[in-house]
Amino acid sequence: MRLLIRALRLCELGRQAASRRPVTAQECLGPRSSKRPGQRCWASVQAVGTRSALSSKLGVSVTRIMRPDDANVAGNVHGGTVLKMIEEAGAIISTRHCNSQNGERCVAALARVERTDFLSPMCIGEVAHVSAEITYTSKHSVEVQVHVMSENILTGTKKLTNKATLWYVPLSLKNVDKVLEVPPVVYSRQEQEEEGRKRYEAQKLERMETKWRNGDIVQPVLNPEPNTVSYSQSSLIHLVGPSDCTLHGFVHGGVTMKLMDEVAGIVAARHCKTNIVTASVDAINFHDKIRKGCVITISGRMTFTSNKSMEIEVLVDADPVVNNFVKRYRAASAFFTYVSLSPEGKSLPVPQLVPETEDEKKRFEEGKGRYLQMKAKRQGQAETQA
């Protein structure tokens, strides 16, 4: 009711301030289907398109201004803040789509985030425009592509800051351990479905491999030497409360990603002792749900350094302290890449990591392989565009 009253007030202001066609309260609240995809809305969350049709540009847009508590001491918005906004937009559109047909009601849960590059930093006072669109559905999952634009409201300048691809699965409201079927979508071109199926199979294979790859835990070391893995490794312990969770009692994916980015940032700052920003996030895999009341441990460790970047592995373990029958388990894992910046915002050289144990040396070589692979991919894309 409060949302309806707020929407009605906003729409009334819109009628008085502009000469365009009046906007109804229903449009402001974002209906599941609309006959006017181009219609603007005064509300902060917009929805346009026709249900279950990709050709109609089914999408959601979330907009908000960046505040001081969203940024670091240098005024750059935390990567975790952006990741949380991306996940919120994805959750809205995927949950809406999965409930677009009659049947058992559900909520979409985040299963995976593909590699996300932070193309440009966002600062305090800028407005973030997060737009999400469904690009593929399998029998039990939804692919959502998200773009983030930052706007300087003083000059009107806009720039693309992030692009991300997320995968969601619909969980029944009656039983959150039950995965439901996803309503199919209509593709405007056959190639869209074929390309989406290839992406689906690729991420499914990688997710299964990653689930068993990171079985170890980060152990503390007394009196570590500078520039070693042990020197910068960090952990954060967090009790999952109601504010972290959906209405159904498990943690929002965006909350987990924000905590992961926070730990990765601490590791990077400890290693190079300068201002640091998130450059990219490799695929984030959510292996299992985290329920309300769990104690989660988010651990980060340096795995690789190039001349100007740092790769940090982040692991999330959940401990259901109120349930003696469930043991501690691995809930999520990812690799974050950070860069070091001068006070003027220019890239600085990174102190080289000194791996000591055989496991650390192995992880260093694996990180180097990922770095070289991504570098070659970027060079290939640059040559193609040229």
pLDDT by residue (tens digit) across 266-278? 999 999 999 999 9
pLDDT tens digit string along 277-334? 999 998 899 999 999 999 999 999 999 999 999 999 999 999 998 777 888 999 999 9
Residue 353 has pLDDT above 60, yes or no: yes
Residue 15 has pLDDT above 50, yes or no: no
Judge whether 120 lies within some domain: yes
- How many domains does the structure of the chain reveal? 2
Which of the listed residues 158, 183, 209 is the one where a domain comes to its end? 209
- Nearest CA-CA partner of 333 in 299, 368, 384, 302: 299
Burial class of residue 372, CB neighbours in 10 A (0-12, 13-18, 19+): exposed
The CA distance from 385 to 305, in Å, is 28
* pLDDT-based confidence at residue 384 (cuts at 50, 70, 90): confident
Quote the pLDDT of residue 386.
Answer: 64
Residues 230 and 309 in one domain: yes
Which of the listed residues 183, 209, 235 is the one where a domain comes to its end? 209
Residue 177: CB atoms within 10 A of its CB come to: 7
Range of the domain at 306: 218-385
Residues 303 and 351 in one domain: yes
pLDDT tens digit string along 117-129? 899 889 999 999 9
Who wins on pLDDT, 28 or 100?
100
Is residue 370 within a helix (H) or strand (E), and if so which, with residue range? Answer: helix 358-385
The tokens for 213 are 């790859």
The tokens for 340 are 């070091």
Residues 286 and 230 in one domain: yes
The CA distance from 274 to 73, in Å, is 11
The CA distance from 258 to 56, in Å, is 32
Quote the pLDDT of residue 345.
Answer: 82
Mutual angle of helices 79-98 and 253-272, in 10-degree steps: 160
Judge whether 12 lies within some domain: no
Who wins on pLDDT, 19 or 339?
339
CB 280 within 8 A of CB 115: yes
Quote the pLDDT of residue 115.
Answer: 87
List the CATH number of the domain containing 357.
3.10.129.10
Residues 257 and 118 in one domain: no
The tokens for 191 are 């190639």
Q: What is the DSSP string of 258-323?
A: HHHHHHHHHHHHHHH-SEEEEEEE--EEE-S--BTT-EEEEEEEEEEE-SS-EEEEEEEEEE-TT-
CB 370 within 8 A of CB 309: no
Residues 222 and 169 in one domain: no
Point out the least confidently predicted range of 106-115, 148-157, 373-382: 373-382
pLDDT tens digit string along 218-241? 777 778 899 999 999 999 999 999
Point out the least confidently predicted range of 44-58, 124-138, 359-373: 44-58
Report, as an integer, the average pLDDT of 157-164. 95
Residues 307 and 158 in one domain: no
The single-letter DSSP state of residue 88 is H
Q: What is the rounded radius of gyration, in angstroms, for the C-alpha atoms of the chain?
A: 22
Quote the pLDDT of residue 59.
Answer: 82
Q: Which residue has the tokens 């893995």?
A: 229
- Nearest CA-CA partner of 296 in 346, 262, 331, 266: 331
Q: Which residues are catalytic?
A: 72, 261
CA 65 to chain centroid:
18
Judge whether 41 lies within some domain: no
Residue type, 92: I
* pLDDT-based confidence at residue 215 (cuts at 50, 70, 90): low
Residue type, 332: A
Residues 71 and 192 in one domain: yes
Taking all residues of the chain, what is their mean pLDDT, rounded to a whole number?
Answer: 83
Which of the listed residues 209, 230, 251 is the one where a domain comes to its end? 209
Residues 190 and 173 in one domain: yes
Judge whether 45 lies within some domain: no
Residues 178 and 293 in one domain: no
Q: List CB contacts of 129: < 8 A, sequence separation 6 or more.
A: 61, 62, 63, 148, 149, 150, 151, 158
Quote the pLDDT of residue 26.
Answer: 32
Who wins on pLDDT, 58 or 174?
174
CB 25 within 8 A of CB 4: yes
pLDDT tens digit string along 31-40? 333 334 333 3
Report, as an integer, the average pLDDT of 108-133. 93
The SS3 call for residue 165 is: strand
User: Quick one: how many helices (H) and strands (E) in the chain?
Assistant: 7, 14
- Nearest CA-CA partner of 198 in 208, 210, 209, 206: 206
Residues 299 and 192 in one domain: no
Judge whether 267 lies within some domain: yes
Judge whether 21 lies within some domain: no
Residues 306 and 173 in one domain: no
Residues 203 and 140 in one domain: yes
* pLDDT-based confidence at residue 211 (cuts at 50, 70, 90): low
* pLDDT-based confidence at residue 212 (cuts at 50, 70, 90): low
Quote the pLDDT of residue 213.
Answer: 56
Judge whether 258 lies within some domain: yes
